[in-house]
Structure 1
Amino acid sequence: MPPTDVVEGVPLLVVKPHAASLDKLVQSKSPTSTNTNNQGSVFSSYVGILCAMLGAGIMTLPSTISAMTPAFGVGLLLVTGFLAFASLRCLCLSADVTGLYSYEHLSTRFFPPILQWMLRVLTLVPCFGACVMYMIVAMDMLLPFVGISRPLLCAAYAVLAYPLCLLDSFHALQYSNTVVIFCIFYITGVLVHHAWGRPWPDQSTLPITSVTWAGLAYAIPIQTFSFCCHFNYMRVYGELQHKPLVSTITWLVIGSAFLIYGTYSVAGYIVFQGLPPHDILTGFPISDASVTGVRLALAMCMWCKMPLAYQPIRDVAEVVCLPYLAPLTKWPFRVPFTGVHSIHHVFSLALTTTLMTRLSC
C-alpha cells in the first residue's frame, strides 16, 4: 500500500513538530484560522479584491504615460498587470499546498521567530501607512466643502470608519466595496467625458517623445503599486466557497483594473494634451461641478477602503495577543483595540500634517 504522505510520488512538505504544534495553538486561539468562514461568493470576492486594488493612486496614472510614449505606457501597464496576476497565482499555490490563508499562519509554519517578526513588520508598516494616507486624502478632498476644522473632520472620519473595521470578513464588506468600485467608475467616466471630442495631442510639441530611464523609474513603481492587493488577497481566497473559481476571479479583477487604468490614463493624457499633472485633480478648477463630484467620490472611496488596510493589522494583533490573553475572546479584545487604533490614526494624522506644514514653510 503506498504511503499516505505522497502525491504521485512527490513527498509533501514536511513540517517540524514544534512548528506544527505552535500553528495549532495559534489557530485554536485566533479568529483568523485556516478554517475560514467560507461565505465568500464570486461577486463578494471580485469586489473585495478589486476594491483593494483600486484607490487614489489612479489620479497619478495619466502622468506615467506622459513620462514615456502613450503606447509604451499602456504596454507597460499591461505587463505590470500580468506580473501582478502571476504573483497572485503564487499565493494561491502556497495556500493550496498548505491549507493556510494568511501570511501569519504561513510564517508560523515555515519561518523561525525572527523571520516571522520581519514579515509582521513588512505587513504592519505599509498597512498602517495606508490607513493614515486614506485619512489624509479624504481630508484633502472634503475640507474645501465643509465648514469644520481638520481635527474635527478627522475625528468624524475615524468614528464613521470604526464600525466597518469591526467586521469579520471581506464578504461582510461586499456592499461598501461595491461603493468604492462605483465611485472609481464615476471618476473614470468624468475624465472620459472631459476628453470626449478633444484632439489627440501633437507629439511634436511635447518635451518627451521617447522612452527614457528617468521615465521608466517614475512610471514602474506607480503602475506596479496600482495593481497591489496582496495583503488582502489571501484572506479573500480563504473565504471563497468554491476555490477552483479563484483563477477566473483573478483574471476578471486584473482585466477590469487594466481597462479602468488604461481608459483613465489615456483620457487624462488627452484632456491635458500630453502634459497631465502628477495629481490630475489639480489641473481642474475647484468650481467645476464634475470635479466636485470626483472629490466627494474619492473621499467615499477612502472611507470604504479603511477596513481593507486595517484588517491585516487587526489579524496580526489577534493572532499574536489572544493566545496569551486566554480566556479573553476576540470581541472583548477587538473592540478596544480598534478604538485605540482609530485614536492613534487621528494623532498620526495631526503629527503628519504638522510636519508637512513646517517642511513647506
Structure 2
Amino acid sequence: RGEAASLALAPAGFPLCAHRVLFRPSLQHPPDRGSSFAFSVFNLMNAIMGSGILGLSYAMANTGIMGFSILLLIVASLASYSVFLLLSMCTQTAVTSYEDLGLFAFGSPGKVTMSSYLLIVKSELPGAVAGFLSGDGESGSWYLDGRLLLLITSVCVVFPLALLPKIGFLGYTSSLSFFFMVYFALVIIIKKWSIPCPLPLNSAENLQSAYAIPTMAFSFLCHTSVLPIYCELQSPTKSRMQNVTVTGIGLSFLIYFISALFGYLTFYDKVDSELLQGYSRYLPHDTVIMTVKLAILFAVILTVPLIHFPARKAVLMVFFSDLPVSWICHILVTLTLNTIVVLFAMYVPDIKNVFGVVGSTTSTCLLFVYPGLFYLKLSREDFLSPQKLGACALVIFGICVGLLSLILIIFNWINQ
C-alpha cells in the first residue's frame, strides 16, 4: 500500500516501478481522492480532440461522405478496442502506463508528438488577433507575429499546466476545452449557409486521399493518456474505465463527424487541409469566425499539457530511469519538451504534412500496432482465443494502413 500511495501522489512523469505492485485500482485511491467519471471523460476527450478536428473535412473531401463515415467508424471502433486491450494488460501485469507496458513487453518505450497542436496556434492566432483589430494594426506589429504569439502562449499557458503533478488536475481545463470544441462544431453548422456556393475562388490544393486514414488515426490518438487517467479515476475498475473510453470516443466521434460534414458541405472540393483557413479567406472579418478561431485555439492549447504527461514519462524512462524522484528533473524535462515542440511548430510549414506523416507512423503504431503487440506478448491466453486473434488483426491492420499511407504520401511529395 505504501508503494501504491507513492504511485498515486508522485508527479505523473516520474519513473516508478509500477509492475512491482499488485495493481488493485479499487484500493489505490479512496473515492474522494480520484477524478470523477465526468472529469475522466473530459480528460480523455481532451487527449483525443485537438488539431485533428481541423483536417477531417479535407479527409472527407478525399473519400466522400459514405467512405469517410465508414472509415471514421472503423478507426473509432478499433481505437476503443485497442484501449480495451491496454486495460486488460494493465490489470494482468500491474503496469500503469503505456510506456511501462512497452518496456515490460519489449524493452523499448513508445513516443508521442505534440507539434501539430501548437502549429494551430502559430497559424491561426495572428489571424484571430488581426480579425478583431479589423485591419487597424500594422502588419509588422508584434501581436501579429505567429511565432512570437506561439512562444508567449507556450510559456504562459502550456508550461505551467504541464508542470502539474497529476493528470486529474487538468479536469477543469479539459471540460473547458470540450465546450470550446462543441462551440466550434455549432459554428461550422451555422456558417454552412453564410458562404455562397459555388465558391468564387479556386483552391490550390490537390486532393490526396493518402492523408485520410492517417488524419483519422491522428484524431483518435489518446492511448498514452488512458492509463494515467485510469489510475486517477474514482473507484477505478476496468469496466468503469471502459465506460469512460466508450463515452469519450463516442462523443468525440459525434463532434468530429458533424464538424467534418458541415465543413465539407461548405467548401466541397475547395476545402483546405486546415479547415479554418477557408473561413479566413471567404469571411475574413466575420466576428463569429474570429470567436471560433479563439475557441479552437484555446481548446488545442489546453490539450498540449495533457499530452505532456505521457511524453515526459517516456523521456524520463529512456534517459533518467536510474535517477531518484526529483522535482528538478520533472521541471527540466518538461521545459525541454516544451522547447522542442515549440521549435517544431515554428518551422513546420504545413499541418497537412504533420497529419499525414505522424498519422501514418506514430499514430498508427500507438493506436493499433503497439496495443496489439503488447497483448500478444504478455497475455497467457491461447493464440486462437478471440482476444488474441483480434489483437493480431489490429497489428496487421495498423502495419498495412501505416505503410500504404506513408508510401502514398511520399509518392505525392515526389510528384509535386
- TM-score, scaled relative to structure 1: 0.74
Alignment partner of 1:30 out of 15, 18, 26: 15
Matched residue type, 2:167: F
Match in the other structure for 1:234: 227
The superposition leaves residues 141-161 of structure 1 with CA deviations (integer Å, 9 ceiling, x where unpaired) of 112316423443233122121
Q: Does residue 133 of structure 2 align to residue 136 of structure 1?
A: no
One-letter code aligned to 1:303: I
Cα distance in 2 between the residues matched to 1:275 and 1:166: 41
Identify if the C-alpha distance between structure 1 residues 350 and 282 changes in structure 2 by more than 3 Å, giving closer, same or farther: closer
- Alignment-derived partner of residue 317 in structure 1: 315
* Deviation per residue, 1:116-167 (Å, 9 max, x gap): 2xxx3x41xx32xx2x332221021112316423443233122121110111
Deviations 1:220-275 (A, max 9, x none): 22222221111211221222232131121111112111211111122122222564
The alignment status of 1:330 with 2:330, answered yes or no, reads: no
After superposition, the C-alpha distances for 1:63-91 in whole angstroms (9 at most, x for unaligned) are: 22222332232122212211111111111
Q: Does 1:191 align with 2:188?
A: yes
Q: Deviations over 1:148-194 (max 9, x none)?
A: 23443233122121110111222100011112111111110001112
- Rounded to whole Å, the distance in 2 between the matches of 1:229 and 1:336 is 24
CA distance in 2, matches of 1:323, 1:226: 31
Cα–Cα, structure 1 residues 334 and 67, in superposed 2: closer, same or farther, change >3 Å? Answer: same
> Which residues in structure 2 correspond to 1:171-250 (within 5 Å)?
171-195=168-192, 217-241=210-234, 242-243=236-237, 244-250=239-245
Higher relative contact order (CA 8 A, sep 6+): 1
Structure 1, unpaired ranges of 5+ = 1-26, 203-213, 354-361
Gaps of 5+ in 2: 1-11, 131-140, 199-206, 350-416
Q: 1:356: which partner in 2? A: none
- CA distance 1:197–1:32, shift in 2 (3 Å): farther
Distance across 2 between alignment mates of 1:197 and 1:155? 34
- 1:168 equivalent in alignment to 2:165: yes
2:189 maps to amino acid: V
Whole-Å Cα distance in 2 between the matches of residues 33 and 163 of structure 1? 26
Q: Give me the whole-angstrom Cα distance separating, in 1, the residues matched to 2:315 and 2:146.
A: 29
| Matched residue SS, 1:228 | coil
Q: Distance in 2 between matches of 1:68 and 1:348?
A: 29
1:57-206 correspondence to structure 2 within 5 Å: 57-112=52-107, 116=108, 120=109, 122-123=110-111, 126-127=112-113, 130=114, 132-144=115-127, 145=129, 147-148=141-142, 149-160=145-156, 161-195=158-192
Q: Secondary structure at the match of 2:63?
A: coil
**Contact persistence 2:51–2:116 (CA under 8 A):** no
Note the C-alpha offset of 1:292.
Answer: 0.9
TM-aligned CA distance change 1:150 to 1:216, over 3 Å: closer
Q: C-alpha separation between the residues in 2 aligned to 1:318 and 1:182?
A: 33
Per-residue CA deviation, residues 5-28 of structure 1 (Å, 9 max, x unaligned), is xxxxxxxxxxxxxxxxxxxxxx9x
User: Contact 1:31 / 1:318 at 8 angstroms: preserved in 2?
Assistant: no
Aligned to 2:305: 307
Amino acid of the structure 2 residue aligned with 1:192: I
- Verify the 8 A CA contact 2:125 2:146 in the aligned structure 1: no
1-structure distance, mates of 2:195, 2:121: 31
Alignment of 1:225-304 (within 5 A): 225-241=218-234, 242-243=236-237, 244-273=239-268, 275-284=270-279, 285-304=283-302
Counterpart Cα distance in 2 of 1:150 and 1:32: 42
Q: Equivalents in 2 of 1:54, 1:86: separation in Å?
A: 18
Q: CA deviation at 1:111?
A: 2.6
Provide the C-alpha distance between the structure 2 equivalents of 1:341 and 1:218, rounded to a whole number of angstroms: 27
CA distance in 2, matches of 1:32, 1:286: 53
Q: Are 1:135 and 1:157, in contact at CA under 8 Å, matched by a contact in 2?
A: no
Structure of higher CA gyration radius: 1
State the aligned residue count.
301
> C-alpha separation between the residues in 1 aligned to 2:346 and 2:66?
42
Deviates most, 179-188 or 35-44: 35-44
1:42 aligns with 2:37: yes
Query: For the residues of structure 2 that align with 1:150 and 1:162, how far apart are their CA atoms?
Result: 18
* Aligned counterparts of 2:72 and 2:258: Cα–Cα separation in 1: 11
Normalising by structure 2, we get a TM-score of: 0.65
